[in-house]
Structure 1
């Protein structure tokens, strides 16, 4: 199989300078029982050891004592993004844990106090965040949201989208090469799906990537009229950047959400691009020494659709949907340029509109 640089966003601008900026993120193996993984999915938790994160308010309840990081192959259920840690489960927010204090990896002794960032702090190149730090980082950038953008927020004004009885949540990509549909994995990657829908529907505030001097947070359909700016035959097609250069960002990050049941095992998988760091000596993700968490969580708005099996991307990019691959495969065959924007089609492939339905 030929080598391709992985899908990137934000600092992927380095590719324009001739540098191959590779990003990767993988984690530990899921618990063999699968029960903890199911609990994680309901709570919006990553399935690698970036997994879940205690909310900033919860950290105040944690005792001063910190347990050492668990081994990378122990199941990795340590933190909860949305919910209450309870033994090896993540309960819904506000629920009471009925397990003895200290039982299981996700109890209070394992909690991590999220890092604080100064106003306007910019994440350096080739670096990432721990899952628990994402919301504080976003706030330092001026994000008007204090915490995650949820599915409930994404469905605002569209009760038919919130009603699971009406069928599978589906995104319809209307493009200049035709329309294709993608089932969205709202249970396995709820925060990623919510962010995608919120941006597309104009509900999730963002900073205009085409006006980098502005500090204003705005709301409007983010993806309409954007192009697939990075197309690589026999690999993937990437879009979601209003600048059409691979450098656009909405001004915030979202946490990685990895599900051990979701693999890039063929064409049609819809995943988030990111700029997660990696160890150049091993081509593996970097880990935080104190918590054992992977350093990453740098996805935001750019996405890609695979056109073949790309198993090397597993646990490095969040899979949040599956598409009919017919049109993405045709997209991947168009002529592309080598400069000034590598792998950009000579003739724009436009994402005219995103539509969401239950079917």
Structure 2
């Protein structure tokens, strides 16, 4: 009986992490951020947000994120980046992306699309969760999850804006040289 329960629990854990592991193993859907605090690897989730993932990939291909600061970093909540002006008011020249809300839980390491009050206003800005943010579930688009380097996200200088902001040095797909 105990062995059956252990086997069932192990199978559940493996199934629960399988989509993340599969995404992380796919170089076309693995985003590597080299930040001033170290490397952060994000498994992209086209199964949840295909339009957002395509948008992020297009921006990465343009090297849009290279040199952009983390402009809003709230301890115990999230680190936000992706604004070329560093103010939280900017975006890319690409059109905004319509919402792709799901019931996916905004837990530690989840990457979501930042937006204004208009659900269809996401563009280049995104945030990485430091801790549980279940109150965001179904209200923001999840497009990725940190699979490696969360300790480096934790080290990002805090503030709104931080006095000495950290930045994304480079952002590349794992499939890129």
Asked if residue 226 in structure 1 is aligned to residue 68 in structure 2, the reply is yes
Q: In 1, distance between residues paired with 2:131 and 2:48?
A: 22
TM-score (norm: length of structure 2): 0.78
> When the two structures are aligned, how many residues end up with a matched partner?
148
**Where do 5+ consecutive residues of structure 1 fail to align?**
1-163, 203-220, 278-295, 337-342
1:194 maps to what in 2?
54
Equivalent position SS for 1:234 = coil
Asked if residue 253 in structure 1 is aligned to residue 96 in structure 2, the reply is yes
Deviations 1:286-336 (A, max 9, x none): xxxxxxxxxx211011000000000111111100000032221222xx353
Q: In 2, distance between residues paired with 1:183 and 1:242?
A: 23
- Structure 1 or 2: larger strand share? 2
**Where do 5+ consecutive residues of structure 2 fail to align?**
1-22
Deviations 1:92-147 (A, max 9, x none): xxxxxxxxxxxxxxxxxxxxxxxxxxxxxxxxxxxxxxxxxxxxxxxxxxxxxxxx
Deviations 1:252-298 (A, max 9, x none): 210111223x210x210000000125xxxxxxxxxxxxxxxxxx211
Q: What aligned pairs does 1:40-55 form with structure 2 within 5 A after superposition?
A: none
TM-score (norm: length of structure 1): 0.39
Equivalent position SS for 2:155 = helix
Q: Name the larger-Rg structure.
A: 1
Superposed CA RMSD in Å reads 1.7
Query: Which protein, 1 or 2, shows the higher relative CO under an 8 Å CA cutoff with sep ≥ 6?
Result: 2
Asked if residue 346 in structure 1 is aligned to residue 163 in structure 2, the reply is yes
1:167 maps to what in 2?
26
Equivalent position SS for 2:174 = strand
Asked if residue 356 in structure 1 is aligned to residue 169 in structure 2, the reply is no
Equivalent position SS for 2:164 = coil
Structure 1 segments of 4+ aligned residues over 6 angstroms from their partners: none
